[in-house]
Amino acid sequence: MPVESSGDEWWKDGIPFTCLPDCGRCCNEPNGIVHLSIEDAECLAEYFGISVERWLQRDCRRRGDGKWVLNSRPVDGICIYLDEDMKCSIYSSKPTQCSAFPWWNENLRSERSWRKVVRNCPGLSVENAPNVNAEIIQKWIDADRNASLGFRKYQKSNGL
């Protein structure tokens, strides 16, 4: 469900941003959690040509609350899909929460939270980066919020 914009967000005039090729900084965070929507699971299972159930068992784990999240590499806690060249090996089918970065609700809840993201994301400091307008930012906040709800079980009929 979209969150109504109150019109007084500090980011209402937009924020300059461009994703930099071969950066991978947002994916190279040890022990990061990527929440998955049912649509993410279906998309990635199709990408790999396997059933959703098989993909969940192979590439995901259940959190303590029962929700499915993407696995991290056991050796360093980094995303299993980040390759040695700092590229996403599933870029065309990546989960919604990955696509929504840096426009996560937790990142935009305050200017203080945002400053931490800016320090870690070089795409937010690119000179002459295009301005991402408030409507697009809100769309990604809503998408991130929806993905963060996650799901606990999958049935072929898409029932929960």
Gap between the Cα atoms of 152 and 66, Å rounded: 5
Q: Which amino acid is at 140?
A: W
What is 106-128 written as a DSSP string?
A: HHHS-HHHHHHHHHH-GGGS-TT
Residue 54, SS3 per DSSP:
helix
Is 119 exposed, middle or buried, given 0-12, 13-18 or 19+ CB atoms closer than 10 A?
Answer: exposed
User: What does pTM read for this prediction?
Assistant: 0.84
Question: Phi then psi for 88, rounded to 5 degrees?
Answer: -80, 120
Whether 86 has a pLDDT exceeding 60, the answer reads: yes
At 32 the pLDDT is 86
Q: Average per-residue pLDDT in the chain?
A: 90
Residue 114 has pLDDT above 50, yes or no: yes
How many helices and strands in the chain, by DSSP H and E? 6, 4
| In the chain, domain spans | 15-149
Instruction: Return the pLDDT at 4.
Output: 43
Residue range 22-68, pLDDT digits in tens = 888 888 988 889 999 999 999 999 999 999 999 999 999 999 999 99
Name the residue type at position 141: I
Asked if residue 155 has pLDDT above 90, the reply is no
Q: How confident is the model at residue 156 (pLDDT cuts 50, 70, 90)?
A: low
Task: Check if the beta carbon of residue 97 is closer than 8 Å to that of residue 106.
Answer: no
pLDDT at 130 over 80: yes
What does the pLDDT read at residue 22?
Answer: 83
**Per-residue pLDDT at 9:** 80
